[in-house]
Structure 1
Amino acid sequence: MKQGTILIADDNRNILTTVKMLLENVFQNIVAIASPANIPTRLREDRPDVVLLDMNFHSGINNGNEGLYWLREIKKARPATEVVLFTAYADIELAVTGIKEGAADFIVKPFDNEKLTETLSKAYEKTKKGSGTADAGGRESTMFWGSSAVMENLRLMVEKVSATDANILITGENGTGKEVLANEIHRLSNRSARQMMPIDMGAITETLFESELFGHVKGAFTDAKADKPGKFELAEGSTLFLDEIGNLGYALQAKLLTALQRRSIVRVGGSTQIPIDVRLVCATNCDLQLMVKEGRFREDLLYRINTIHLHLPPLRERKGDVAALARIFLGRYANMYNKPEMNFSAEAEEKINSLPWYGNIRELQHAVEKAVILSSGSVIDANDIDGQDAQKAKPMDEVQTLDEMEQRLIEKTIHDCDGNLSQVAFKLGITRQTLYNKIKRYGL
């Protein structure tokens, strides 16, 4: 059923004609203009729900400033109208800037007909919904944003980019909640009707990588007793979350890049190209730019996964949020362990706010759970809070085993490196995969 009004602004009349034909069965009213000077008049008279806006109008000028200027003018005149940017591949970075300034999405020329129609239809639905952040799957948010300025800025960015299909890279220290943020992005996306597919890249061995991600056919190897789809196929139409992307070996990075570039995969032992439609979200606590300089991460893969970069700040930079988050955990664990109506004393809250929490949210959560379990009353005192200052390594003369010595050394190095596991592995003289396995082994 045709509904809504779209305004198409592009100086290429052949493109105007082609796009109008494509959208005749989608939109009730289609307004096409070749000059951006007519945009204000068309906004007043036609009141479009969606604008498809070219980034460059004058021959020889390709810096995208015209598109960004008219994007701002459209959003000032009609804030509820969604704008989709029309851009050449070389100007994707400008389109990302446009998204930060309020655009709903962008389409790269030369465009795919189905992708263009789908993107513009989604933009129209977003206009009709108002905020465009409803979760089609009906799931509630598990993200705690808090009230700190740094998290408010992040929240606004997430709301802008979630409804697009742009690939997102989430960075942050261990325990900051990168997977929780990935879930929130998926919840707010147009793909939320299907479950997000998470993959821990640090836990996949090199020999199983292709089978896990791309699947295999029967007989591809000894234990391949039946055809098996990989994670890319299972995430079709949804979000694929690649956690610990920095732990992916260099040789395997090329295989992932090929799948992303071709938008298709081939199962191990097979020969058929299988198209994939996934939204990619990656996360890491590594400095990928540094890894690129050191030759440990492919620069072309970084560009592919880093269309939008979101950084989760450590808990010590969210001072106003720490006590509030601790109270959430207190309520959760008080109910879990049948200890209702528990509270923190003023001294306990003061201690919670003063600790650095180098393990971030994960460390705070464990500390509150431990305090609930061990507390004999309804009030948790400062002495019940076992934070970072109470987790200092034992003196070496108190260490009993080699395992305990290794655990203490890893703990200290993680602390000294502020949670940067690449630096930790370098200082300890081991690979990141070995470090990752030891962290899991010792529960760090």
Structure 2
Amino acid sequence: MTDPAGQPTVLFVDDDTDIQSAARLLLTRRGFRVLAAHDAAEALTRVAADAIDLVLLDLNYAPGATTGAEGLALLRDLHALRPALPVIVVTGHSGVAIAVAAMREGATDFVMKPWNNERLVTLLHDTLDRLRREAGPAEADSETGEPVLIAVSGPIRTAVALADRIAPTRAHMLLSGSPGSGKTLLARRIHARSGDTAPPVMLDAEGLSTLPPGRGTWIIRGIESLPPPLQRTLADRLDGTAPPRILALSSLGVEELAARLPPRLWLPLEAVRVTLPPLASRQDDIPALATHFLHYFAIRHGLAEPALDTASLDALRLRPWPQNIRELRAAMERMVVLGDAAAPLPGDSTHTQDAPTLAQSEQALIEAALRRHGFNVSHAARDLGLTRPALYRRMARYGL
């Protein structure tokens, strides 16, 4: 997963600009492409948007911080985003004890500040060489990670904290929330923090004709659309001695969903229920999400990143966002592509004369995603945050 010039890409996360400069000078001379991030949010955006081969991770970013807690939390988020991404911890103030804790959390190795240049370069090459030997064919398609789960406001932080607490267990979970609120992303985060090294089985209940064999973790989107025969089959599996772990996703309210599923299936699924609030009720998340998506798409498309002023952010906070994060994501991509933070947003009634319609904007985004993924519908659907059937319906609507 190197850049076109054949250079492996290293992301160095450290708040000290002098150390960043020293690392960039050293590693660039030794044949690496070096990207910088100065805090957790910037690091996650970089990993989501760019083809990163390895992360060098300092553990403290806030002034005066020495506990390493920030870095350990970021390490867990990086592994939720890219489970196979190698992370080498760089530590000074926190010492060996916190570096060992980072190894328990999944860090590949650690180096101490001030590092020995030759040892650091050798460690990077050895780590990348080992990963190339061990990588299977399934990892060839993992150049970029899933979109980042950003939790700033109280309601979403509460939901994520509950999910994180239950993640290491084998408990089934029901993730509910309106379309585009981040249910699939949260399910992937739960699996990444579960300790299960096998990839989750992604299932779209709509149109499903059979259940897969085996145990593992199943993420079932639109659980209410599971055909009645499969509802009974799944209930039987959950009653067995070695059931799969089910992370069920639904946009329905609790009462409506309970009416759609038999009690034998509903009761085990709703034992642990996490509800994601709509974006309109999470106004504190909107600036962070907007900034993230602008940075993400600027990197992805190789374009300048528009700046959002206070008035623009206030306008974003006031929008209803009926399609939630998915809609905000599309609006920010459009701003990047048009190169203007003041560009009209899809559905903005103040720019109706010349602005593309919402349908035209959606069609353009779908076409761009399909081209980006070589018209692989599964990958394009995942990129857009849609199920495959939902993307097929939109493709048919626009004649794609």
Report the TM-score when normalising by structure 1.
0.46
1:375-434 CA deviation, whole Å, 9 max, x = no partner?
2xxx511xx14144449999xxxx9xxx99xx9xxxxxxxxxxxxxxxxxxxxxxxxxx9
Amino acid in the other structure paired with 1:329: F
Deviation at 1:145, TM superposition (A): 3.3
Amino acid in the other structure paired with 1:189: S
Name which of 259, 263, 269 aligns with 1:305: 269
The range that moved more, 163-172 or 193-202, is 193-202
Amino acid in the other structure paired with 1:282: A
Given that 1:170 and 1:311 are in contact with CA atoms closer than 8 Å, whether structure 2 keeps it comes out as yes
Name which of 224, 227, 238 aligns with 1:260: 238
The answer for the alignment partner of 1:287 in structure 2 is: 253
1:83-137 CA deviation, whole Å, 9 max, x = no partner?
xxxxxxxxxxxxxxxxxxxxxxxxxxxxxxxxxxxxxxxxxxxxxx989993699
Name which of 278, 281, 285 aligns with 2:244: 278
Structure 1 Cα separation of the partners of residues 225 and 351 of structure 2: 28
Deviation at 1:188, TM superposition (A): 0.9
Given that 1:246 and 1:288 are in contact with CA atoms closer than 8 Å, whether structure 2 keeps it comes out as no
- Cα–Cα, structure 1 residues 163 and 435, in superposed 2: closer, same or farther, change >3 Å? closer
Structure 2 Cα separation of the partners of residues 311 and 137 of structure 1: 34
Report the TM-score when normalising by structure 2.
0.51
Given that 1:168 and 1:281 are in contact with CA atoms closer than 8 Å, whether structure 2 keeps it comes out as yes
- Cα–Cα, structure 1 residues 391 and 183, in superposed 2: closer, same or farther, change >3 Å? farther
How do 1:227-246 residues align onto structure 2 when only pairs under 5 Å count?
230=212, 232-233=213-214, 236=215, 238-246=216-224
1:30-54 CA deviation, whole Å, 9 max, x = no partner?
xxxxxxxxxxxxxxxxxxxxxxxxx
How do 1:20-169 residues align onto structure 2 when only pairs under 5 Å count?
134=105, 143-169=148-174
Structure 2 Cα separation of the partners of residues 136 and 261 of structure 1: 37
Query: Is 1:353 matched with 2:317?
Result: yes
User: Please, what is the CA RMSD of the aligned residues?
Assistant: 3.8
Amino acid in the other structure paired with 1:279: R
The answer for the alignment partner of 2:125 in structure 1 is: none
Name which of 322, 328, 341 aligns with 1:380: 341
Alignment length (residue pairs): 235
Amino acid in the other structure paired with 1:380: A
- Cα–Cα, structure 1 residues 244 and 441, in superposed 2: closer, same or farther, change >3 Å? farther
- Cα–Cα, structure 1 residues 352 and 142, in superposed 2: closer, same or farther, change >3 Å? same
Higher-Rg member (1/2): 1
Deviation at 1:439, TM superposition (A): 5.9
- Cα–Cα, structure 1 residues 324 and 256, in superposed 2: closer, same or farther, change >3 Å? same
Instruction: List gaps (5 residues or longer) in structure 1.
Output: 1-128, 214-229, 264-275, 408-433
Q: SS at the partner of 1:202?
A: coil
Instruction: List gaps (5 residues or longer) in structure 2.
Output: 1-99, 110-141, 364-388
Structure 2 Cα separation of the partners of residues 172 and 392 of structure 1: 30
Structure 2 Cα separation of the partners of residues 342 and 436 of structure 1: 29
Structure 2 Cα separation of the partners of residues 141 and 362 of structure 1: 13
The answer for the alignment partner of 1:201 in structure 2 is: 205
Deviation at 1:340, TM superposition (A): 3.1
How do 1:161-180 residues align onto structure 2 when only pairs under 5 Å count?
161-180=166-185
Deviation at 1:372, TM superposition (A): 1.2
The answer for the alignment partner of 2:287 in structure 1 is: 323
- Cα–Cα, structure 1 residues 334 and 174, in superposed 2: closer, same or farther, change >3 Å? same
The answer for the alignment partner of 1:342 in structure 2 is: 306
Deviation at 1:350, TM superposition (A): 2.0
Deviation at 1:352, TM superposition (A): 1.2
Given that 1:315 and 1:361 are in contact with CA atoms closer than 8 Å, whether structure 2 keeps it comes out as yes
Structure 2 Cα separation of the partners of residues 367 and 137 of structure 1: 37
Given that 2:305 and 2:336 are in contact with CA atoms closer than 8 Å, whether structure 1 keeps it comes out as no
Quote the sequence identity (%): 22
- Cα–Cα, structure 1 residues 133 and 171, in superposed 2: closer, same or farther, change >3 Å? farther
Given that 1:162 and 1:186 are in contact with CA atoms closer than 8 Å, whether structure 2 keeps it comes out as yes
Structure 2 Cα separation of the partners of residues 260 and 344 of structure 1: 49
- Cα–Cα, structure 1 residues 363 and 391, in superposed 2: closer, same or farther, change >3 Å? farther
Given that 1:356 and 1:388 are in contact with CA atoms closer than 8 Å, whether structure 2 keeps it comes out as no
Structure 2 Cα separation of the partners of residues 325 and 249 of structure 1: 36
Q: SS at the partner of 1:323?
A: helix
Q: SS at the partner of 1:344?
A: coil
Structure 1 Cα separation of the partners of residues 103 and 255 of structure 2: 33
Given that 1:148 and 1:320 are in contact with CA atoms closer than 8 Å, whether structure 2 keeps it comes out as yes
Given that 1:168 and 1:310 are in contact with CA atoms closer than 8 Å, whether structure 2 keeps it comes out as yes
Q: SS at the partner of 1:380?
A: coil
The answer for the alignment partner of 2:81 in structure 1 is: none
Given that 1:176 and 1:362 are in contact with CA atoms closer than 8 Å, whether structure 2 keeps it comes out as yes
